[in-house]
Amino acid sequence: MKILVINCGSSSLKFQLIDMTDESVLAKGACERIGAGGSITCSANEHKLEAEYPLPDHTVAFEKIKDLLMSGPTKVIDSADEVDAIGHRIVQGGDLYSKSVLIDESVKEGIASLIDLAPLHNPAHLQGIVAAEAAFPGVPMAAVFDNAFHSTMPPKAYMYPLPYRYYEEFKVRKYGFHGTSHRYCYVHLHGQYPQYRKVMICHIGNGSSICAIHNGEVVETSMGMTPLDGFIMGTRCGSIDPAVVTYIQEKDGLTPEEMNDIMNKKSGLLGVSGVSSDMRDLRQAANRGNERAQLALDLMYYQIAMRIGSYIIALGGMDALVFTAGIGENTPITRTIVCDYLKFMGCILDEDKNQEAIGKEMKISAPESKIDVFVIPTNEELMIARDTYHLVSAL
Ligand code: ADP
């Protein structure tokens, strides 16, 4: 079975075609600047295509992806019929979906009903679903929700201490995100080490979140009603004193939209350092003596460790700690410093292994460590393909 995995944003559409016989990626790429010019990349058959191409809307983008998959140097299928199913990443499933589902009219209505909670994402996902239906008529499709894995959180973890009616009327609560990534890492680890009961996954990338899993069920996670919550990220501030928001708005005369933009796009590592949101740039700048770049990094290490510390309470201990995503997988220094904060609990890295584990799966803790520490490269697309495969196989 071949499955097309789609991650559709308002002006972008990332795709992977995965052959489920061996879970290999046949082709992958992205359409960017949809509705504002258009460009496309596609890698297949060891060939990488990059081109400007007019993409007025998502439907045209899907047609172009079909062309690339069926012809030229990136050809991997003979006809569109070879795409057996399509899996869509959906950011916000609210409290409607606790697992992945096949898409029908009611699911589309469900995703649409949650637009208020994810105004930037869910409309784009719906556009992607409609365009995929037009390009691949009759092909079954699944929706895989970013927050579904976190649906096991107890009310004491997901409620905000606000007047209760905001929860009842506006669904204001913690949902958590990156669930597909956390689930991939957890399932992968569990396959090899089923004995772990208390597992913490640190997804540290441009967007970052930590997830605490007890006997396979999420009990805590750091992102909230939106992916802005948690700890410092590339350009997002994470948790701050909520009173700061109205204070800055008043001081700078900002609208709610402008304030939102500052907290989402101009804060975090970028905001503190004034240099970049990218870990590589920050480390270079810090090495050259830029103190604010170093401060931004110090904040990140400290905040990750503080989160882990508080989630150890939620878990009642920790058997295994996993680092994943761009920073988690590729920066030994992050793991060294974070684990140094945990040393008092007997968390000890094998520093040689830690240095070696760059972008690859490894156990990096020392034999005497009381907590086993791992690097596991995440693979959200494969998780989406697997869910889609299981749902479609049961049809
Ligand atoms: P996203 O949340 O957009 O998927 P990623 O998981 O790709 O983000 O993470 C991006 C972050 O990972 C950036 O800060 C980047 O600097 C960092 N990163 C990625 N690869 C490396 C690397 N090889 N060395 C150091 N940092 C890296």
Q: pLDDT tens, position by position, for the chain (395 residues)?
A: 999 999 998 889 999 999 999 999 999 999 999 989 999 999 999 999 999 999 999 999 999 999 999 999 999 999 999 999 999 999 999 999 999 999 999 999 999 999 999 988 999 999 999 999 999 999 999 999 999 999 999 999 999 999 999 999 999 999 999 999 999 999 999 999 999 999 999 999 999 999 999 999 999 999 999 999 999 999 999 999 999 999 999 999 999 999 999 999 999 999 999 999 999 999 999 999 999 999 999 999 999 999 999 999 999 999 999 999 999 999 999 999 999 999 999 999 999 999 999 999 999 999 999 999 999 999 999 999 999 999 999 99
pLDDT of residue 314: 98
Ligand 1 atom at shortest distance from the alpha carbon of 269: 14
SS3 of the chain: the string is: CEEEEEEECCCCEEEEEEECCCCEEEEEEEEECCCCCCEEEEEECCEEEEEECCCCCHHHHHHHHHHHHHCHHHCCCCCHHHCCEEEEEECCCCCCCCCCEECCHHHHHHHHHCCCCCCCCHHHHHHHHHHHHHHCCCCCEEEEECCHHHHHCCHHHHCCCCCHHHHHHHCCCCCCCCHHHHHHHHHHHHHHCCCCCEEEEEEECCCEEEEEEECCEEEEECCCCCCCCCCCCCCCCCCCCCHHHHHHHHHHCCCHHHHHHHHHHCCHHHHHHCCCCCHHHHHHHHHCCCHHHHHHHHHHHHHHHHHHHHHHHHHCCCCEEEEEHHHHHHCHHHHHHHHHHCHHHCCCECHHHHHHCCCCCEECECCCCCCEEEECCCCHHHHHHHHHHHHHHCC
Are residues 161 and 172 in contact, defined by beta-carbon separation less than 8 angstroms? no
pLDDT of residue 292: 98
pLDDT of residue 120: 85
pLDDT of residue 67: 94
Residues 94, 180, 98: CA angle, nearest 5 degrees: 35
Ligand 1 atom 2 nearest Cα? 206
Using a 6 Å CB cutoff, which residues line ligand 1? Answer: 205-207, 234, 278-280, 325-327, 330-331
**Pick the catalytic residue: 57, 116, 146, 372?**
146
Ligand 1 atom 7 nearest Cα? 326
CA atoms within 13 A on the CB side of 41: 10
Residue 206 alpha carbon to ligand 1 centre in Å? 6
Residue 251 alpha carbon to ligand 1 centre in Å? 34
Which candidate, 132, 133, 143, 142, places its Cα nearest to that of 92?
143
261 annotated active-site: no
Are residues 170 and 182 in contact, defined by beta-carbon separation less than 8 angstroms? no
Give the mutation target among 275, 279, 358 for probing the ligand 1 site: most ligand atoms within 8 A of CB: 279
Q: Please state, in angstroms and rounded to a whole number, the distance separating the CA atoms of residues 363 and 335.
A: 12
pLDDT of residue 9: 87
Q: How many CB atoms within 10 Å of residue 332?
A: 18
Give the mutation target among 236, 327, 335 for probing the ligand 1 site: most ligand atoms within 8 A of CB: 327
Q: Please state, in angstroms and rounded to a whole number, the distance separating the CA atoms of residues 68 and 278.
A: 31
pLDDT of residue 206: 94
Q: Please state, in angstroms and rounded to a whole number, the distance separating the CA atoms of residues 295 and 232.
A: 12
Are residues 212 and 164 in contact, defined by beta-carbon separation less than 8 angstroms? no
